[in-house]
Amino acid sequence: MMECKRVFGVVSCGMLALAAWGGGPTATEMPEDTPGTQVFELGEMLVVAGRTVGEDATSSVLELDADDIRIMGAKHAADILHHLPGSFVRLGNEGDAMARVRGYRQREVKVVVDGVPMTNPYTGRQDLQKIPASNIAKVRLIRGGGSVLYGPNAMGGVVEIITSKAGDEPAGAISVEAGDDAYWRSALSLGMPWKSFYANLALDATDRDGFPLARSLDSTALENGNTSENSGLKHRSGTLKLGWESEDTRVGLTITQQASAYGMAFDITGAKTKFERVEDMDRLHIAAIAEHAFSERTGGKLSLFHTGTDVLRSAYDDQTFSTQANKGALTEEAQDDVTGGAVLLNTWISRFADLSLSYGLEQSRRDADGFEINKSNVSVPFEITERTWVQYLALEDRMDLAESLSGSLGVRVDSWHAESRDETYSWNIGATWTPLAWLSVTPAVYRRSRFPFLRELYEAGRGNPDLKPAMLTGTSLDIALTPWESWQFRAALFHEDIDDLIDRDGSNVYQNIDEARHRGFEVGCTKDITEVLSLSVDYSYLDAEDRSGDVDNTRLRYRPRHKIDTRITYTPSSGLELAVGHTFLGEQCTSENTNDTIRSSSVLDVAVSQRINEHARIFGRANNLFDDSYYTSDNIAAAGRALLAGIELTF
């Protein structure tokens, strides 16, 4: 990791030197196209040989491109998802940023990057702060049913992230930004095409002493304000992407190496405080994708991947992080590996039979050893090996039933093996009806599965090896209309019943909740006030209940009922880009056995950038501008006002 730091130190110094070179003060119009970068289409999971298969006729789909992401001033994928309707990002007690979609935890939402899943096999989560926005070309949030071709563990939806690749010309970008609490980030991206080949390199380094707390936050013995205790972060990542394309074949190889060290946020009241740190985390991700068009009507795609994560985690006696003598202290070295692949075949027979067949297989494994101090204050060594297997076979038919009506019918069988073997069946039936050029209606019914992850099965004191897969049966209705050229309206209704939902009970042990229900709606509109000024407003309502009758309070925890997203963007031809976003998040229940809640939050973010010339752009961002004091989970304080500024140079 020290070698990685030296490399990125050199990169950062180079960025500062280029930033000093800068460019002239005259503003110019922003280029409409960037010939040096393109969307990595090979990484789109449901694109085969240039054709979109298994189109999401059964789900709500929100899509943002690189321009949308740049204007909103997002630093990473977590920033993007937090501002989308039906979704919000919660900071977990392990310091990771986790998306919730329509109330579903990230374990129930599949995160796919460039066509392969990126979920940690032990926790079932992916820290969205570790995916830099500068390398993202497209984000798709798929809610509701979704295609069965995405595979299992997408009960709450799919987050599909597609990165950029080299375009028609050599290109690169270099950026540096700095902010409160010694926040520093530097990034470098290079794209080089050569005949039918291309190569991309993306490097990213982030450092911070911690994140700032709101000035109005009440001080405690463990947290006296200013910078959050134990929230420092050092993160380094590098991605190399190689590809080859011909008229009917595309092949890509992606290698990503990450190294991190960070503190874990703790309960600032002292009621359930754990003083933990990830001393070192190294992750290697390798993915290979190939697709071939066998004919004009038939194509196939093969993807293989391996992700290995080595983690050194320690828990200490107190906030000095110096002794490990009392109950709960531990040191653990773990290796989490997930290896898998999928093959997807598509053939167009007729307008009634656009068939896709997919088979996928994954193995998850954890090897861990270390010691833990027991309740007698005695050090007890441990060594464990845990593994699970999952495979699936899916078939989906996309049909053009009439000029204004298309449909989708899919079925999938999943087989999962841990302590026991389980098989589940998923399906979707949906249609898209466009009776008028400005009106689209999408009804759907669907069934989805979610299998337990290693942590839920085997974690000491909380795991439950008898967990069963969770099953969801749902209905949804989506409406999109554009009655006038400058107005866009959207609405979605959904009702989903879940059997055996996996969650922790009052004693913090993972259990199956016999019956649960998610239902709600989302409404929104976008108005182009002028050619350069637009306003977008979205409201989301969620009613999430435990229907088993085993608890006093039926509200499921950490699922806010109300969310309002408001965004104003201003993009005049002078090269200025301004985005003002406001997010209201309603109160959240923190326990199903009590009426304890996290109060609502109201956060205003502002992002601004100015293009200096064709190759230089300066930017700034203010998060939580009015310094609202709130919590993202039980007694874990959220970040207060944070300011940053930076410069980006392209060549």
DSSP 367-422: EEEEEEE-TTS-EEEEEEEEEEEEEEEEEEEEEEEETTEEEEEEEEEEEEESSSEE
| The residue count for the chain | 651
- Least confident range from 19-28, 79-88, 463-472: namely 19-28
| Residue the block writes with tokens 């991190």 | 260
- Alpha-carbon distance of 72 to 568, in angstroms, equals 10
Residues 315-320 have a mean pLDDT of 89
Q: Tokens for 513?
A: 């909740």
With contact defined as beta carbons under 8 Å apart, do 470 and 498 qualify? yes
Q: How confident is the model at residue 8 (pLDDT cuts 50, 70, 90)?
A: very low
Q: Identify the pLDDT of residue 634.
A: 62
- Alpha-carbon distance of 112 to 128, in angstroms, equals 11
Measured between alpha carbons, how far is residue 150 from residues 4, 53, 92, 551, 596 in Å?
35, 11, 26, 34, 37
Closest CA to 638 of 213, 208, 276, 274: 213
Higher pLDDT, 597 or 594: 597
Q: Identify the pLDDT of residue 26.
A: 36
Q: Identify the pLDDT of residue 319.
A: 85
Residue 533 has pLDDT above 90, yes or no: yes
Phi, psi of 415 (to 5 degrees): -125, 125
Q: Identify the pLDDT of residue 93.
A: 63
- Where are the domains positioned within the chain? 2-650
CA end-to-end span of the chain, whole Å?
29
Task: Say which amino acid occupies 47.
Answer: V
Q: Tokens for 532?
A: 């350069």
Q: Tokens for 289?
A: 């994708």
- To the nearest whole percent, how much of the chain has pLDDT over 70? 90
Q: Is 17 exposed, middle or buried (0-12, 13-18, 19+ CB in 10 A)?
A: exposed
The reported pTM is 0.89
Q: Tokens for 494?
A: 């959904």
- Alpha-carbon distance of 240 to 285, in angstroms, equals 11
Question: DSSP secondary structure string, 152-173?
Answer: SS-TTEEEEEEEEEE-SS-EEE
Inter-residue long-range contacts of 122-125, CB under 8 Å, 24+ positions, other chains counted? 122/334, 122/336, 122/364, 122/366, 122/453, 122/454, 122/455, 123/94, 123/453, 123/455, 124/153, 124/453, 124/455, 124/456, 125/92, 125/96, 125/98
Residue 19 has pLDDT above 50, yes or no: no
Q: Identify the pLDDT of residue 304.
A: 98
3-state DSSP assignment of residue 489: strand
Q: Identify the pLDDT of residue 573.
A: 87
Instruction: Report which DSSP code applies to 573.
Output: T
Closest CA to 126 of 309, 313, 322: 309
3-state DSSP assignment of residue 130: helix
Closest CA to 394 of 342, 468, 319: 342
Q: Is 377 exposed, middle or buried (0-12, 13-18, 19+ CB in 10 A)?
A: exposed
Residues 63-82 have a mean pLDDT of 91
Q: How confident is the model at residue 51 (pLDDT cuts 50, 70, 90)?
A: confident
Q: Which listed CATH number (2.40.170.20, 3.50.50.60, 1.10.10.410, 3.40.50.1220) goes with 2-650?
A: 2.40.170.20
Handedness of CA 126, 162, 535, 434 (dihedral sign): negative
List of residues 6+ apart from 253 with CB closer than 8 A: 241, 242, 243, 286, 287, 288
User: What tens digit of pLDDT does each residue of 110-169 get?
Assistant: 999 999 998 888 888 888 888 988 889 999 999 887 899 999 999 999 999 999 988 889
Residue 56 has pLDDT above 70, yes or no: no
- Alpha-carbon distance of 182 to 355, in angstroms, equals 54
Higher pLDDT, 490 or 638: 490
- Alpha-carbon distance of 340 to 114, in angstroms, equals 14
Instruction: Report which DSSP code applies to 30.
Output: P
Residue 297 has pLDDT above 80, yes or no: yes
With contact defined as beta carbons under 8 Å apart, do 534 and 526 qualify? yes
Q: Identify the pLDDT of residue 54.
A: 66
Residue 433 has pLDDT above 70, yes or no: yes
Helix%, strand%, coil% for the chain, nearest 5: 10, 60, 35
- Least confident range from 72-86, 340-354, 610-624: namely 72-86
Residues 547-572 have a mean pLDDT of 87
Residue 552 has pLDDT above 60, yes or no: no
- Alpha-carbon distance of 515 to 370, in angstroms, equals 38
Phi, psi of 454 (to 5 degrees): -60, -40
Residues 24-45 have a mean pLDDT of 59
List of residues 6+ apart from 68 with CB closer than 8 A: none
For the chain, count helices (H), then strands (E): 4, 36
Q: Identify the pLDDT of residue 1.
A: 40
Residues 306-333 have a mean pLDDT of 93
With contact defined as beta carbons under 8 Å apart, do 210 and 180 qualify? no
Closest CA to 554 of 507, 595, 587: 595
Residue 455 has pLDDT above 70, yes or no: yes
